[in-house]
Copies of this chain bind each other. A is one copy, B any other.
């Protein structure tokens, strides 16, 4: 008998009819003899509607009250799913994040999970009940106030519960049926991956793959919780995220996929004094504005001037903030100007194969060059190559790289074509 944690997104429970379908899937799992803990997001647009109401009464609502407001969405969906399960003859009990022992920091709207003490969840499981836990929320360790975990919070709740309960697997049900070698909307012959290592999934999530949030994968990796990404609308096998790259035999090591990201902007600080500490001052200024930067490039200093340029990327919506902050410190830091460019895209190739297969970087650059796509910035890790290009070139870049490394599924496509006979 296994212990399974299942997480269903808001679209999976958007209507009473979908809630009943989700309940059937949960009861099926229970009938197999497994213990089941379920984390459900708020129904469909509930969260947006609550945000809209808040805006109407206060354009700058206090974060604590915002969390009190938003957490009601998951209470509603969880109670409804529990009712739907009961109507199918199984016993179910729903818990708020606080009741389930999800202890967090007190930073409202983006709280971090400190600990999970699932005593009541365990007790309900021991009584043979299906347990529902409101995702995305917890209780602050110090203030005892209700908190929310921010984006991807429900996935993180599910993985954190799975870790605390020692679950065999955490199933994330979403509107795609797994992790693909590229976005199928851009690359029609993209292939679904049966398994991905935590490290590869981390790189994919970090470079724009939307299917799992980075923090959720980090949590799963730290506590070694296998995460099964599946579609809530089908019974397809999905993708299992588990294990370390080290477990993958080198000769099998292949490239995982191509990720893309159009959410970043590029900032270049021009004419910076090439003296120790000046770069540090630039990044300190950005860090003080609580902006995370991604790629960084420092140009070779021009000997004649002793000046250099620093280029970095950051979330597009925070670009103006960073530029203003830097211009305010122009004299203090010492540079000539700040350039801002938000018409960029980032394409990344991820895969353990890179370690053992030479020439990947060369093939990567050749493929883009052949397609006439100019590379503006390169950064690499042991299992990833990322480059910046024009946003208008991004989709084409994803396609040519996906082809160049033969990540597609021609065979399977043929098989599908043949199924008519």
A positions within 8 Å CB-CB of B: 16-17, 19-20, 23, 50, 53-54, 56-62, 64-66, 68-69, 71-73, 75-76, 78-84, 86-87, 92-94, 96, 99, 120, 144, 146
A83, B144: Cα distance in complex, Å? 19
List of B residues within 8 angstroms of A54 by Cβ: 79-80, 83
A58, B65: Cα distance in complex, Å? 31
Indicate whether A71 sits within 8 Å of B80 (C-beta atoms), given known contacts A94-B65, A99-B144. no
Query: What are 19 A-B interface contacts by the 8 Å CB criterion?
Result: A16-B57, A53-B80, A57-B80, A57-B83, A57-B84, A58-B86, A59-B87, A64-B93, A65-B79, A65-B82, A65-B86, A65-B93, A65-B94, A69-B75, A69-B76, A69-B80, A72-B72, A72-B79, A96-B146
A86, B68: Cα distance in complex, Å? 14
Count of identical protomers in the assembly:
2
Contacts beyond the supplied A60-B87, A62-B82: 13 A-B pairs with Cβ under 8 Å: A19-B57, A57-B80, A57-B84, A57-B87, A58-B83, A61-B83, A62-B86, A68-B78, A68-B96, A69-B79, A71-B75, A72-B72, A72-B76
Min C-beta distance of A390 to chain B, whole Å? 42
Min C-beta distance of A202 to chain B, whole Å? 35
Min C-beta distance of A212 to chain B, whole Å? 28
List of B residues within 8 angstroms of A146 by Cβ: 96
- Contact across chains for A20 and B94 when beta carbons are under 8 A apart: no
A59, B84: Cα distance in complex, Å? 9
List of B residues within 8 angstroms of A72 by Cβ: 72-73, 75-76, 79
- Contact across chains for B53 and A65 when beta carbons are under 8 A apart: no
Of chain B, the residue at the smallest CB distance from A67 is B79
A96, B137: Cα distance in complex, Å? 15
A365, B245: Cα distance in complex, Å? 93
Min C-beta distance of A287 to chain B, whole Å? 30
